[in-house]
Structure 1
């Protein structure tokens, strides 16, 4: 018998879990946990291990069996059918488990399952729309490095490119001076850092980038401006042909919401929930379907 719902949000920077009793509210979790990244695009098989280990830790802490829990996993990279199926095969010991994208659970959570435009900007960037008939549309979200412009990984990558340009042109700026102290100032240093530079490591440079932009660094400001332009384009693609509300989620969502083009401001709403709320909602719906 299913007694609990386990929501999992897996991305390029972290993996968040929240366990909720089936007869309780999502705001009263029985257990919460945050572990390392689990993007199927970036971490691949390591993501499977990360997710399985987190589930095992959660169930052991609250002494539940796999049969007692319905699990919804919204994970970056699950839009790739092969990657999604590989994760599903690694979770066969959990009989009540649904794998979807992190964008999907964000879309469901941001407005409690009601029609809305959702911009989720964290390590990556994606815009999704939930129609009144339940259908969905997605824009962006192609993954790093081919897509995710304006997201944390992309911003960090642009910062490193600025450092490379500064080294070659023998120029300086507050941002590139900072990066040279932390990543290195020679070709060999940068190449060594890049050997382990995934989306998560690039995204870790964003706080420094934003700090320098706020302090007036022209190089930082230009990178952030380009990021804003990319997000504006994403908003336009998602929102121009409908009148639905617009909500932002993710670690960079609040920043970009503050800098959205004036034409969209009247439609902005504060997000009601987050990706974990969306996963919990989806899990509850699945249990209700099973119970008839």
Structure 2
């Protein structure tokens, strides 16, 4: 049986890892850049390899001493997950690559039943039911889904600003001024930005919307669309079952006050993070209490 457990929460903007020595309780933590299999597999593989290697070096341990669980966006794609497991197999033989939704739902309520909706660069709903079954909702990625995410909110903001330009041949609104400070005002520059814009580029525009929504009609329009998407994702995640709700992610704090009262009354603070969930899964897997499984879609 291994002496250490390592929990990893990868994401579209940052990746966090915590290595724990079970006997002493001593821990080592490290934060690195983005690691999403969907958005950039090669970057994700390199980031995770470096993070794990650096933590092993800090703790002066080897891979055969550690049980590793990593929650990674895009891990629902079996081909990408298997490829990543192969890439990391020599470094850490006891490895479980799963979705960041799974690690989040296990951390949010200390492994107890809960519905979790994550509003970050991407979006996903996940619930852990009283019978121990897990179900995932959404999380299909930026190209076809991720409604209620920072990336889609940023994309909607750009679209609204371009609609304003098409109507008036200018950028007069507060939202337009904020967005064009990033993407430019000349149509040729905007087209250049759009050609090279990645998921994270759109996501970085999301924080511009909420502060303007109270006084800028264009920002209010975009935020209302975003909020509708979030409510639909929460309702879908909680369909046919009543569970406490945890809202996670960088957009959570600014979104919760605007949710309907029927949803807010069931929201509880998160008991732990996705890293905590990964560590809990690692501990249970290490002891034989839990087998490697993936959520039912």
1:69 maps to what in 2? 66
1:166 CA displacement: 2.7
In the TM superposition, structure 1's runs of 4+ consecutive aligned residues that sit over 4 Å from their partners are none
CA distance in 2, matches of 1:86, 1:254: 35
Q: Within 5 Å, which residues of 2 pair with 1:252-291?
A: 252-289=251-288
1:137 maps to what in 2? 135
Q: Within 5 Å, which residues of 2 pair with 1:128-167?
A: 128-167=126-165
Q: Within 5 Å, which residues of 2 pair with 1:1-292?
A: 2-23=2-23, 30-93=27-90, 94-169=92-167, 170-171=169-170, 172-214=172-214, 216-289=215-288
Further displaced range: 224-233 or 265-274: 265-274
CA distance in 1, matches of 2:205, 2:24: 39
Kept after mapping to 2: 8 A contact 1:5/1:70:
yes
Further displaced range: 92-101 or 264-273: 264-273
CA distance in 1, matches of 2:23, 2:250: 30
Q: TM-score normalised to the size of structure 2?
A: 0.91
Q: Deviations over 1:212-264 (max 9, x none)?
A: 225x1211111111111011111111214112111111111233222222222
Structure 1: gaps of 5 or more residues? none
CA distance in 2, matches of 1:179, 1:19: 40
Kept after mapping to 2: 8 A contact 1:17/1:33:
yes
Q: TM-score normalised to the size of structure 1?
A: 0.93
Kept after mapping to 1: 8 A contact 2:148/2:233:
no
Structure 2: gaps of 5 or more residues? 291-297
Change (3 A) 1:81 1:111: same
CA distance in 1, matches of 2:246, 2:6: 24
Q: Matched residue of 2:29: which SS?
A: strand
